[in-house]
Amino acid sequence: MYLTDYFFSDFDGTISKFDVIHKFIETFAKGDTKKAEKLWMEGKITTKECIEIQFKLIDKIKKSEFDDFLSSIEIDEGFIEFYNILKKYNKKLIILSDGFDVFIKSALEKYNLEEIKFYSNKLIIKENEGFLTFETEYPNLKKECLIGSGNCKCHAASNYSADYTYIGDGLSDRCIAKKSSLLFAKKSLETFCKKENIPHIPYKTFQDIIETLFKENSNAKNDVGKKERNS
């Protein structure tokens, strides 16, 4: 199978085992967060608008609680192997997330993956007497973003190549899914792709992606090696 030079991946629920933003809001927000989420799922408000509504329901939390939450973030076991294989093939992997930098950075540091570049929204944290408050910033916001993401994934990818593989799972991946050369989709993104007839490869874990992309390449290399030895 042809391997693109660039691989872009979503983070929340794709690399991470659970949707970090959803879990964070579910854990710490006080009030009804479901109304905004329903409007977002129906496409009536943008991702940015949904997040801002829900974050207003987070008052202040203890720093120790926040640290415990950060330490709870885990990633797909196959992702590290996937990333290491890409490096062997001299391919680039970049994370494109509509989540927040603090969560991604913490997870990458936890698994010694700090070298991976990522684009995301920014979470401003202020501390006062052991309690934290949060503000959101969107340095990668683009007015022309068709789905109104805080971080325009299509724009970020276009800075590198028009030929790339994308890996995703949700609503914020829908636009870039249509533009990717090769797409791996799961959960609601897979459902969307089926409905819109967007070519994609279903997957559940990064181990599935490894099997799809590299088993064929590995077999091809072995065949070449056998021919060379027999010649």
- The CATH number linked to 192 is 3.40.50.1000
Of the candidates 41, 61, 45, the residue with the CA atom closest to the CA atom of residue 53: 45
Domain assignment present for residue 185? The answer is yes
- Interatomic CA distance for residues 186 and 193, integer angstroms: 9
Looking at residue 2, its pLDDT comes to: 87
pLDDT tier for residue 153 given thresholds of 50, 70 and 90: very high
Residue 31: inside a domain, yes or no?
yes
Is residue 228 over pLDDT 70? Answer: no
Question: What tokens were used for 67?
Answer: 């640290």
Burial of 139 from C-beta contacts in 10 A (0-12 / 13-18 / 19+): exposed
Which one, of 5, 1, 58, lies nearest residue 27 by Cα?
58
pLDDT band of 85, cuts 50, 70, 90? very high
Q: Which of 28, 111, 121 is nearest to 68 (CA)?
A: 28
In the prediction, which pLDDT does 17 show?
A: 97
Q: For residue 29, give the 3-state DSSP assignment.
A: coil
Residue 129, pLDDT score: 87
pTM of this structure = 0.90
For the segment 9-25, what is each residue's pLDDT rounded down to a tens digit? 999 999 999 999 999 99
> Has residue 1 been placed in a domain?
no
Q: pLDDT at position 52, please?
A: 87
Please report where in the chains the tokens 């052991």 appear, as a residue. Answer: 130
Per-residue confidence (pLDDT) for residue 227, from 0 to 100: 35
> Rounded to an integer, what is the distance from CA 162 to the centroid of its chain?
19
- Classify residue 173: in a domain, yes or no: yes
Q: Domain for residue 207, yes or no?
A: yes
What is the tally of helices (H) and strands (E) in the chain? 10, 8
Residue 18 lies in a domain: yes
> What is the distance between the alpha carbons of residues 157 and 51, in angstroms, rounded to a whole number?
23
Please report which confidence band the pLDDT of residue 223 belongs to, taking 50, 70 and 90 as the band edges: very low
| Residue 138 maps to a domain | yes
Residue 98 inside a domain? The answer is yes
Our count of domains for the chain comes to 1
> What range defines the domain where residue 16 resides?
6-230
Amino acid at 25: I
Choose the weakest-confidence range: 128-137, 189-198, 214-223. 214-223
So what's the pLDDT on residue 216?
64
pLDDT for the residue 225: 36
Q: Which of 60, 75, 69 is nearest to 30 (CA)?
A: 60
